[in-house]
Structures are given as structure tokens and as C-alpha cells.
Amino acid sequence: MPHSLTEVYLHLVWATKHKHTTINGSIKSKLYAFLEDELIKLGCSVLKINGTEDHVHCLIRIGPHISISIIVKQIKGSSSRYINKNNLIEDHFEWQRGYYVNSIHKSEIGRIVNYIENQ
């Protein structure tokens, strides 16, 4: 339907393999910029990306034509290839299997953005 409007907001979280603390320093900003670009290419609106040395949080709004599993598979796969291809860390980089996702109501966006900012 060409006149449809979707407002599906998701809080995604995934971790580095074995929770290794490899997302720090210069890799952090490069990784987050890469993830944002990839999510936009997939038709998502990015509200916030942040995390710690061993995991990433993303708050996104997804479009009606892509599934959550495809989004996560694409961004985890492409970002690990990006890190390894560009030698952003000394060792081989991998994400841990799986992810956490929670749908949130539009009224909760501010609270979740604040939570992600304070990681």
C-alpha cells in the first residue's frame, strides 16, 4: 500500500565474541558511523548508536519491507568484515551469535536514547 505509515521502533543490542573488549578508541567512532550508514542503506532511521567496549546498542525505526533478522544479519556481518578488512584491531574480529531486540513505543524514545547515551 503506497500510503502506509509504519512506526516500528527497535532497541537492538549485540556483543563481541566472548565479550572481548575491542570496541574502544578510534574503532568506536568508525564502527558507529559504518553501522549508521548500513542501517540507512537498509531503509532504517537511526535514532541513536552507542555502547561499551564489548557491545553495541542501536535505536532504530524500521521500514515495512525488511525483517529484524535480515537487519541484524546484515549489520553484524558487514561491520565485522569492515573491521577486519580495514585492520581496525590487531586480532580477528567477530560478533557473538545472537542479539537482543525490544520494540518500544514512540513515547519511550527519549528514555531509551538517554539510556543508550549513558552506556
Residue 22, number of CB atoms within 10 A of its CB = 20
On the question of pLDDT at 2 being above 70, the answer is no
Task: Give the N- to C-terminal CA distance of the chain in Å, as an integer.
Answer: 39
pTM: 0.92
pLDDT tens figures, 76-111: 999 999 999 999 998 999 999 999 999 999 999 999
Q: Where do the H-state alpha helices sit in the chain?
A: 25-41, 68-85, 109-117
Domains by residue range for the chain, with CATH:
8-117 (3.30.70.1290)
Return the ∠ at Cα 78 (arms to 65 and 75), rounded to 5°.
45
At 4 the pLDDT is 75
